[in-house]
Amino acid sequence: MRTTCFTTTFLLVAALLSVNSTPVASASDAVFPVSVENCGIATTYTEAPRRAFAMNQSATEIMLALGLQDRIIGTAFLDDAILPKFADAYKAIPVRSTAYPSREVLLKAQPDFVYAAYPSAFSSELPGMEDLLHSGADSYLSPSRCDNPPKVEPIEMVFREVLEIGRIFGVPDRAQELVAANRTDLAGVRRKLGTVKTPLRVFWWDSGMPPVVAGCCGAPNEILQMAGAQSIFPDLRGALGAVSWDDVIERNPDVIVLVDASWAPAAQKQEWLLSNEEFSQMDAVKHRRFVTVTFSDATPGIRNIATVRKVAEALYPERFSTGLARHSVSE
């Protein structure tokens, strides 16, 4: 049950973190009514949603981290294997589509809440926010994907998202504990890193030809900064953007981070760089300094702090005695 007020018109948001167990949701710590403004739409919830549809992996994993598996009536669009600690809970949830569900499949599931990480989930091929409201369902887009996202750092947007989902589903204490645990994990990484006087310069290759790379302002760049490194394209506006190979060669990165995705496998990208003579004098290629992260690691969501640790351990293994075997730069 909810009441909704449009303070602008359509569209939405994404992102987040990690927890050691998967509790089952209850309303014991709930406080209703709860009011949330998401992408310009203000909604007041008088009770927690009971039939949520998670349209993207990061949305699914945030709900599982909050112990909300019993509220999910469908998921879609898995980019990577689900985190192992959530695997059992995930198996009990109907997978309605390997990509986005059709309009008919989504509405037939009769969700009362649709949660997405990307605006594409609310495209013209699927019910938009207003259509969902008319059918009796609310919707939520990860804040980082709104037309006018909050003016905070990407990880803080993820934390905000977790807290808002916790409030909407009546588990605010659980959400606060999850955010606090991630802040503690991040503080631990920073303690291990200490002061990095000369940050390693990193070419973060997301996908594409010409390459789509980390820009100045988004989750990939923030992950690098928190891991004691810096992008070789700090002057590129946005979270990601296309550049020329000549620019990559000229900026001569110390390390290359390869995003592994089914449509752009990291192994293929690495082999292409190693077999192409024009890259042979780049320091990262010459010394085979490659780090691989998954697509889900690299997008706003529950995995981000663990990804900071993974990248930091690979770049500065001498500062992480426990990380040498797991995340060292490939040679």
Residue pair 68/140 in contact (Cβ under 8 Å)? The answer is: no
184 forms bridges with which residues in the sheet?
A: none
Cα–Cα distance, 139 to 41 (Å, whole number): 10
CATH dotted code for 2-182: 3.40.50.1980
Among 203, 304, 212, 292, which residue's Cα sits nearest to residue 254? 203
Domain limits, CATH 3.40.50.1980, in the chain: 2-182, 194-327
Among 81, 273, 318, which residue's Cα sits nearest to residue 329? 318
CATH dotted code for 194-327: 3.40.50.1980
User: Which tokens is 322 given?
Assistant: 């426990």
User: Which tokens is 150 given?
Assistant: 């909050």
Cα–Cα distance, 232 to 172 (Å, whole number): 39
Condensed to tens digits (0 to 9), the pLDDT of residues 227-251 reads 999 999 999 998 999 999 999 999 9
Cα–Cα distance, 23 to 29 (Å, whole number): 13
Condensed to tens digits (0 to 9), the pLDDT of residues 255-301 reads 999 999 999 999 999 999 999 999 999 999 999 999 999 999 999 99
Condensed to tens digits (0 to 9), the pLDDT of residues 1-18 reads 454 443 333 333 333 333
